[in-house]
Structure 1
């Protein structure tokens, strides 16, 4: 990557800045009931880069509902919408039109990423919104996990540069936008940020970071990246929830095993083992449901973009954590079952011995008579 002198430039940019705030609100959302209870519609299938029928298919397309505009202290007025995924995630997207130069975009990125607490502002709005359709939310959670993500979508840049030209001339500024940093980053840090870039045509570009992304594309072209970034973050949220749930379950099992003393006390492990097995089945079903919510059939660019986005936001890391904890839980379940079976076998042996002793007693007693 080559960089230029980081002095301010007046290159004109225009587009939108989006903030995605997602909440894990329940175990499942009944989308059909939700549509009847709210002024919502089913989202159409995601678009693709190619001028061809959609090859990215939701198993159950999310439901979309418009939200009232949100006004920040700065006077910025954001238009919003809420999207409901059937696996219990509510995704809120607010966007603000943008026009200015690179320095303006960098300042806006830094302020939005670090200075504005969107989640705390929006959660009360979403809770009120969900109250009117509560029957559609299965096993709602009292405490919501949340994730936020920022997308800086540039639709037009002066001179209509190609992706290569944009990286060559403004790579360090793109890195600042993705990092949300007002100061010029070191060369190595810029290279690290720009390694996560992807393009389909010569005139489109996406640079994806762990909490923000820079997208240079038309409105239609950027739709694929925006929806897949949203989906990747919803997956992260789900696997974070499963990780916390499994941590709590394993802690309870470890405490239980630590308290057990004696062979007959193991009988109480049977009920706990059944409870643990039920939790494992539930989590396995839910993770498969969330993991397969969207299918990439033959759109290889969408699949590559999703893998890149998922890797940057941390989906594989949490997925591996969940897989390891599931394996540990399965081993514990097997151990608890074996301990119970040993206790049952010992008990049966004792019963058999007692029966033999009783029979012998009456047999000898009868002979004595």
Structure 2
């Protein structure tokens, strides 16, 4: 076990435990806001520097505050209260805040305690279920999926001795990597560089170090970075779920295509009945994909755009994006083949009907005889 730095102390800081859930197909945020009686507001990103106002959430998610008793996490405790951020594409992000102070080395024990923390997971799910019950019909096709995407952000606002971003990486790389990876053992240099390799600074006194399960922020006025990381965590959840739904749709479409390939007789309307669920999944998936990828607009703030791009690379969102796009195209191709087969079969049936009618007319004329 390695010895973490003991002389470095956190004077002021906060840990954010995030839990992302999928709760439905879509949400009418205006209706949800009307139904909520607790503290609420439409969330906007506070830019670190000036940027066009329209580069923000579209539409703005609904932030809801709820009272809760502090929860013990090792020697730390959460603040009373919890924030829930409700997105129009049917996702909720639940955030618990934990005040930080004391030795930097204490962050390692906190990170290990937060890793798959069952009480926080259960509490966050209960909060989401309560929210779903409160907003009622504002959510289309309400449900709470079993999958949850959790993430932890450690934000250090002040330390002793005072640190710059370069100081943190140069002098405390091992400690930072262990905290991000929740790993008590000393890490190899390659593992350290992988953990701290995705980082970005706006000025000399701040830095954002982004890893797969956690991020560490140093500096003041990091609310916008927190918002981008929170959204990216939700985005990852939605991409995973969407990819899973498309796998199911492709299995159903391929099964339908294989069945039609080997059987020639179908009752009228049978093909259309089989195609309807595939078409519905295709449309739902495409709409959700567009909503998720177009919710956050950051092109006017280059720093936040770079933060989102860096987080996307760390979370492999581009790979999920490419996989979903490919599966949507494949599903569209299979649906097109099934539709073409159904159209060809209808034409074939019509041809046989015409042939039968012609044959019947000839038979009738022969039976009736000349003069009739």
The TM-score normalised by the length of structure 2 is 0.90
Residues 1:56 and 2:58 aligned together: no
Q: For 2:15 and 2:72, how far apart are their aligned partners in 1?
A: 14
What is the CA-CA distance between 1:114 and the residue it aligns to? 4.6
282-291 vs 46-55, greater mean Cα deviation? 46-55
Q: For 2:198 and 2:370, how far apart are their aligned partners in 1?
A: 93
Report if aligned partners of 2:249, 2:282 keep a CA contact under 8 Å in 1.
no
- Check 1:240–1:36 CA distance in 2 against 1; reply closer, same or farther (3 A cut): same
- Check 1:231–1:254 CA distance in 2 against 1; reply closer, same or farther (3 A cut): same
- Check 1:65–1:305 CA distance in 2 against 1; reply closer, same or farther (3 A cut): same
User: Over residues 303-349 of structure 1, what are the superposed CA-to-partner deviations in whole Å (9 max), with x where a residue is unaligned?
Assistant: 11001112212322322222222122111101111211221121111
Q: For 1:125 and 1:87, how far apart are their aligned partners in 2?
A: 19
Q: For 2:3 and 2:157, how far apart are their aligned partners in 1?
A: 22
- The residue that corresponds to 1:209 in the other structure is 211
- The residue that corresponds to 2:232 in the other structure is 232
- Check 1:162–1:178 CA distance in 2 against 1; reply closer, same or farther (3 A cut): same
- The residue that corresponds to 1:26 in the other structure is 24
Q: For 1:270 and 1:28, how far apart are their aligned partners in 2?
A: 26
- Check 1:148–1:73 CA distance in 2 against 1; reply closer, same or farther (3 A cut): closer
Q: Which has the higher strand share?
A: 1
- The residue that corresponds to 1:269 in the other structure is 271
What is the CA-CA distance between 1:68 and the residue it aligns to? 2.0
User: Over residues 224-252 of structure 1, what are the superposed CA-to-partner deviations in whole Å (9 max), with x where a residue is unaligned?
Assistant: 11100111111111122212222222222
Residues 1:192 and 2:189 aligned together: no
Aligned with 2:334 (options 309, 322, 332)? 332
358-367 vs 336-345, greater mean Cα deviation? 358-367
- Check 1:214–1:356 CA distance in 2 against 1; reply closer, same or farther (3 A cut): same
What is the CA-CA distance between 1:6 and the residue it aligns to? 5.2
Residues 1:9 and 2:6 aligned together: yes
Q: For 2:267 and 2:344, how far apart are their aligned partners in 1?
A: 9
Q: For 1:112 and 1:105, how far apart are their aligned partners in 2?
A: 10
The TM-score normalised by the length of structure 1 is 0.91
- The residue that corresponds to 2:358 in the other structure is 356
| Superposition map of 1:90-109 within 5 A | 90-109=92-111
Q: For 2:118 and 2:31, how far apart are their aligned partners in 1?
A: 34
| Superposition map of 1:252-263 within 5 A | 252-260=252-260, 261-263=262-264
Aligned residues: 363
- The residue that corresponds to 1:245 in the other structure is 245
- Check 1:204–1:55 CA distance in 2 against 1; reply closer, same or farther (3 A cut): farther
What is the CA-CA distance between 1:102 and the residue it aligns to? 2.4
Report if aligned partners of 2:6, 2:105 keep a CA contact under 8 Å in 1.
yes
Report if aligned partners of 1:270, 1:336 keep a CA contact under 8 Å in 2.
no
Q: For 2:122 and 2:323, how far apart are their aligned partners in 1?
A: 28
